[in-house]
Amino acid sequence: MPQGTKPVVVVTRRLPDVIETRMMELFDARLNLEDNPMTPAELIEAVKTAEILVPTVTDRIDARVLSQAGPQLKLIASFGTGVDHIDLATARQRNITVTNTPGVLTEDTADMTMALILAVSRRLSEGERLVRAGDWKGWSPTAMLGHRIYGKRLGIVGMGRIGQALARRARGFGLSVHYHNRRRVHPDLEKELEATYWESLDQMLARMDIVSVNCPHTPATYHLLSSRRLQLLRKEAILVNTSRGEVVDEIALTKALQNGQLAGAGLDVFEHEPAINPKLMALDNVVLLPHMGSATIEGRIDMGEKVIINIKTFVDGHTPPDRVLEQMF
């Protein structure tokens, strides 16, 4: 990029005002004021002119899009933690650096995961719907009975930042923490979290009361919770997913919930979102949220600031702090 000129930064979605204002000050920013998702054709047009692209997790930056990128595109500064929407191999081949925004969404997502655990166990959504429908006839000793979470076993699939933050919250609620991860965490961290490691995911799933999916979506984790593994879960168990919908076989999950093979589920993400299986939506034992696990004002601003830092560092000729090298689970 020529010295002293502002880089052309194309932003695919509407971001918080304070972030967009700062981008306009620092860069030649092209904003999406209507906040309509870009079509594949619009993304192709964007990469033809952008020196830096700022996509979100809903933008598919695949080989077809990247193959049309102009030689000036040198950085994809993604607004989000996950990078499964970007073809990293093709980006690497074209010498395009990719960054993300890790860390800033940890607490917000862990909060939402804990909220879903409580909502499913205590049937909060069902109770709220009952009241709004005008069908509540008053308190009864046997009405709307859920399950106590104190003393239950929580199995965390993916003990990264969010998994660890969830474990800390879970201990406060009296849950026994178990986890499966590609690599075992440091013994000191295990001791701090009072967490039990399971090398075998199958063995852990069969013994848990609550299972929380907190690993990223990668080729290795696609349908990690397959039909076979879902059948390992106890009939009294519940499943919560605030990670990526693709990690769970959604059709198999729906059947398990319909057939009483699983007590309930709390889902903030879906395999083909925003489309949701109508059969899943018809079930009372599922809490469904619109991918809002990280949706706090503070979190979105922190994400935007990370994007700006990554861009500024790259433009100044240094390695961005959040450069994505590989996907890990």
* Active-site residue, selected from the candidate residues 244, 246, 250, 271: 244
Name the token pair of 27. 């860069």
* Active-site residue, selected from the candidate residues 45, 273, 305, 323: 273
318 among known catalytic residues = no
* Active-site residue, selected from the candidate residues 85, 92, 122, 291: 291
291 among known catalytic residues = yes
Q: Give the dihedral sign, CA 192/194/199/202.
A: negative
168 among known catalytic residues = no
Residue 50 CA to residue 189 CA, distance in Å, equals 43
Answer yes or no: are the C-beta atoms of 252 and 281 closer than 8 Å.
no
Active site residues: 244, 273, 291
